């Protein structure tokens, strides 16, 4: 259900961008990212509450697993839209390639960091 709400919000933001033009793109992206952040925080709070009450069927997102990676991926993809447009507008194909190399690099570093945390011994 949450992903359907996010999809509707993203569709609404994209429609608004088409109607309002690129000068409002930054505000629309900020608004969408804020909604995603709010929803992720709410989900994290719910999961922590369920874990404190005796657990749930979902993994604890505070250990840097699915919830954190999923949220990070969504945010980077949402931010990739205006960054790609800026890179392509300023330096054409080379700007677009540099932008996506940076996006991939950030995601790669985050993934390595997440995997490193999961591989740690809980006794540490």
- pLDDT of 117 reads 63
| Domains contained in the chain, number | 1
> Is 65 inside any structural domain?
yes
- pLDDT of 91 reads 93
- pLDDT of 89 reads 92
> Is 10 inside any structural domain?
yes
State how far the Cα of 1 lies from the Cα of 111, in Å rounded to an integer. Answer: 26
pLDDT along the chain (124 residues), means of 10: 73 82 81 81 82 63 66 86 90 92 88 69 46
- pLDDT of 122 reads 47
Name the burial class of residue 61, with classes exposed (0-12), middle (13-18) and buried (19+) by CB atoms within 10 angstroms of its CB. Answer: buried
- Long-range CB pairs of 36-41, under 8 A, 24+ apart, other chains included: 36/6, 36/71, 36/74, 36/75, 36/78, 37/71, 37/75, 39/2, 39/5, 39/6, 40/67, 40/71
> Is 58 inside any structural domain?
yes
- pLDDT of 101 reads 92
* Domain, as residue range, for 92: 2-118
> Is 124 inside any structural domain?
no
Residue that the structure tokens 């931010």 belong to: 79
> Is 108 inside any structural domain?
yes
> Is 123 inside any structural domain?
no
- Tokens representing 4 are 């359907």
- pLDDT of 55 reads 59
- pLDDT of 37 reads 80
């Amino acid at each position: 259900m949450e992903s359907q709400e996010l999809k509707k919000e993203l569709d609404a933001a994209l429609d608004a961008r088409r109607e309002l033009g690129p000068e409002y793109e930054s505000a629309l992206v900020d608004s969408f990212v804020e909604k995603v952040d709010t929803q992720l925080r709410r989900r994290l709070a719910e999961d922590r509450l369920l874990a404190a009450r005796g657990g749930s069927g979902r993994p604890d997102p505070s250990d840097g697993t699915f919830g954190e990676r999923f949220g990070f991926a969504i945010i980077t993809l949402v931010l990739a839209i205006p960054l790609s447009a800026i890179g392509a507008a300023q330096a054409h194909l080379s700007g677009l390639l540099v932008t996506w190399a940076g996006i991939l690099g950030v995601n790669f570093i985050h993934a390595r960091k997440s995997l490193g945390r999961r591989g740690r011994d809980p006794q540490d």
